[in-house]
Amino acid sequence: MLPDGQRADAPIRWLENARADLALARVALPPGALYEHLCFHAHQAAEKSLKAVLLKMEVEFPFTHNLQALFDLLPSALRTPSDVLEAVDLNPFAVATRYPGESEPVTENDYHDAIRLAETVTQWAANIIRDRNPECDSTP
């Protein structure tokens, strides 16, 4: 049996994956690329961060990319700051912005907002997991 920190359902592994997506989201826009694709990774960072918290709280979650649905599953006793809840604004980046004609083009300002939201959720999740797992540092 794998140690807790190495299991696929370990919150720390989900947080590591969230941080990896955040790192990809922060990459400078390569020539020929679209902000939509970087914003997808910002959404993924927030989604995986939320799922890490849900796993830590021992809350089962469905297969979904809907951040509001994941926020709704958080225990009511868990304080979720309003700036973290704003991450629902990332929902369009999960699917709609990744395909032509589904939405308006994503601007550089939209991109910077997406990074800010993803960083906020990832840091919040890291703080929750760190409080219960000393192996987790506070760097998003």
Torsions phi, psi of 63, nearest 5? -70, 110
23-67 pLDDT, tens digit per residue, is 999 999 999 999 999 999 999 999 999 999 999 999 999 999 999
Model pLDDT, residue 127: 96
Superfamily of domain 7-132: Nucleotidyltransferases  domain 2 (1.20.120.330)
93-108 pLDDT, tens digit per residue, is 999 888 888 788 999 9
| Residue 31: C-alpha distances to residues 20, 28, 34, 38 (Å) | 22, 9, 9, 13
Averaged over 10-31, what is the pLDDT?
97
User: Taking the model in full, what pTM does it have?
Assistant: 0.88
DSSP of 17-68, one letter per residue? HHHHHHHHHTS---TT--HHHHHHHHHHHHHHHHHHHHHHTT----S---HH
